[in-house]
Amino acid sequence: MNIAIAAAHAMEFSTFRRYMGRVRKLPLESWQHYIWENGNNQVILLETGIGPETARGAITALLKTYQIDCIINFGSAGMIDAKLSVGDVYLADEVVSVQNDRLLQTNIQMTEAINAFLTEQEMTFCRGRLLTSPDPVVKKSQRMRLAKQFQVGAVDMETYALAEIANHKRIPFTALKMISDRATAMSRLEFWKNLPHVNRSLGKLMYGFLEFLKAA
C-alpha cells in the first residue's frame, strides 16, 4: 500500500523524518518528497508548503506521479474552540474552508484507525471539525466569528485543499493536528515557540501509527 503523509513545512516533520531512517529524498516539480519502505507499505512524505494553493499544487503533482492508496495530513493548527489548549491533539472528522461552504468528511475507517491507536496509547485527544483559511487567524474577534460561523475547533492553512483533491480522486483522507497557538495577535510568536514540541510529539505519533498499521 502507498501511504502519503502530507505536512506543510520541514520544521513540522523533521522528527518523523528521523524516525523514518534511511529514505530517498526526491524532487517533485516545485516540491520535495521522501520515500520510505515500511514493511509492506511504501510511505511517501510530502512537504506541501504553506497555504491552500501550494498544498493543492503539491498533492496534484504527487498524484500524477504515484498511485496513492490513502493520504494523512499532519501538522500544527490554531485553536478556535476556547475549550482547547496549546498542545492538544486534534483528530479531524470534518473539514471546511472559509473559501468554500462545502463540508468534507474525513475517511471513517482511517479516522477510526487513528482513534484506536491514540486510545491504545492512552493519549488524550479531541475530535471535531477543522477549518482551513488562506490567511493566519490572528485576532480574537476573528476567532470568535469563525467559531460561530463554522462550528469548528481548530484552523490550519492546507487541509481543505488536500481533502478536496483526495475526495475528487476518491482517495481515503484524514488529518491529525496539534494545537500550536491560540489564534490571537500573539499567534506567530506562539507558533514558533511551540513548533518544536509539535514536531517532536506529532512525529512520534505518526511513526507510532504507521507501526500500529504494520502490526494490524
pLDDT tens digit sequence for 14-72: 999 999 888 888 999 999 999 998 888 899 999 999 999 999 999 999 999 999 999 99
| Cα–Cα distance for residue pair 82/144, rounded to 1 Å | 9
**Residue 154 contacts by C-beta under 8 Å, 6 or more apart in sequence?**
77, 78, 79, 80, 81, 84, 90, 128, 130, 131, 177, 179
Q: Which domain holds residue 14?
A: 2-215
| Cα–Cα distance for residue pair 100/80, rounded to 1 Å | 18
Residue 101 has pLDDT above 90, yes or no: no
164 grid coordinates:
478536496
Rounded to two decimals, the pTM is 0.94
CATH code of residue 126: 3.40.50.1580
Asked if 24 and 34 count as a contact pair (C-beta separation under 8 A), the reply is yes
Q: What pLDDT does residue 186 have? A: 76
For the chain, give percent helix, strand, coil, nearest 5: 40, 35, 25
At 214, the pLDDT band (50, 70, 90 cuts) reads: confident
- Specify the residue for cell string 495577535: 185
186 grid coordinates:
500573539
**Residue 114 contacts by C-beta under 8 Å, 6 or more apart in sequence?**
72, 91, 174, 176, 209
| Cα–Cα distance for residue pair 207/185, rounded to 1 Å | 33
Asked if 18 and 45 count as a contact pair (C-beta separation under 8 A), the reply is no
**Total domain count, the chain:** 1
| Cα–Cα distance for residue pair 80/91, rounded to 1 Å | 14
Q: What pLDDT does residue 139 have? A: 83
